[in-house]
């Protein structure tokens, strides 16, 4: 057997083995990392219990989103970054939280920092995976679904 054939066989076996591994730890990593990006961004927007003056300045002058007032955008973005990242971390309503953050990512990419497409592309890939695959086994989504989504016993409608 040639080295070429041996490498192809080994690669094929490894690929088949990997195809059958769970994505659960990868999904946790995606939730933690992307959630942290947005949570840390939210932390930069607050000062005490309110929004920092610099946040309003950024939303008025640097971010300048169309069709929404800078003040409303500042409040909504901060609220979304805090709440949706916490949901991601917990694996609770993961698909909904990931969808919200994916929309935020697309808005940031389109209207705010279009030159940062590599970073936003990485966020979007992780968020799209969470939308498509959910939070995985290590999540509150799974725990709640096991409790609430039980199939009715036979004989019951």
125 CB neighbour count, 10 Å cutoff: 13
Which tens digit of pLDDT belongs to each residue from 109-131?
A: 999 999 999 999 999 999 999 99
In a domain, 16, yes or no: no
Q: How confident is the model at residue 149 (pLDDT cuts 50, 70, 90)?
A: confident
Residue 4 maps to a domain: no
In a domain, 156, yes or no: no
Q: Which residue has the higher pLDDT, 156 or 71?
A: 71
pLDDT score at 156: 44
Q: What is the pLDDT of residue 152?
A: 58
With respect to residue 11, please indicate whether it lies within any of the assigned structural domains. Answer: no
Q: Are 49 and 103 in contact (CB under 8 A)?
A: no
Judge residue 124's burial from the number of C-beta atoms within 10 Å of its C-beta, 0-12 exposed, 13-18 middle, 19 or more buried.
Answer: middle
What does each C-alpha distance from 134 to 30, 31, 96, 139 come to in angstroms?
Answer: 11, 10, 9, 9
Q: Residue 7 falls within a domain, yes or no?
A: no
- Please name every residue paired with 46 in a beta bridge, in sequence order, or none if there are none: 51
- 15 in a domain, yes or no? no
Q: Answer yes or no: is 104 within a domain.
A: yes
What total number of domains does the chain contain?
A: 1
Q: Find the mean pLDDT for residues 88-101.
A: 98
**Structural domain that includes position 107:** 24-148
Q: What angle do CA 102, 104, 106 make, to 5 degrees?
A: 70
The verdict on residue 143 lying in a domain is yes
The average pLDDT across 39-58 equals 96
């Amino acid at each position: 057997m040639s080295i070429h054939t041996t490498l192809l066989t080994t690669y094929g076996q490894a690929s088949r083995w990997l195809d059958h591994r769970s994505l659960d730890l990868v999904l946790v990593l995606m939730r933690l990392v992307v959630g942290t990006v947005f949570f840390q961004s939210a932390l930069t927007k607050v000062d005490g219990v309110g929004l920092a003056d610099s946040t309003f300045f950024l939303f008025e002058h640097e971010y300048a989103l169309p069709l929404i007032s800078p003040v409303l955008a500042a409040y909504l973005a901060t609220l979304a970054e805090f709440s949706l990242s916490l949901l991601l971390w917990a694996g609770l309503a993961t698909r909904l939280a990931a969808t919200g953050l994916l929309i935020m990512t697309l808005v940031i990419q389109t209207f705010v920092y279009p030159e940062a497409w590599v970073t936003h592309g990485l966020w979007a890939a992780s968020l799209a995976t969470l939308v498509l695959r959910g939070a995985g086994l290590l999540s509150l989504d799974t725990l709640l679904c096991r409790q609430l989504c039980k199939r009715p016993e036979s004989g019951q409608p």
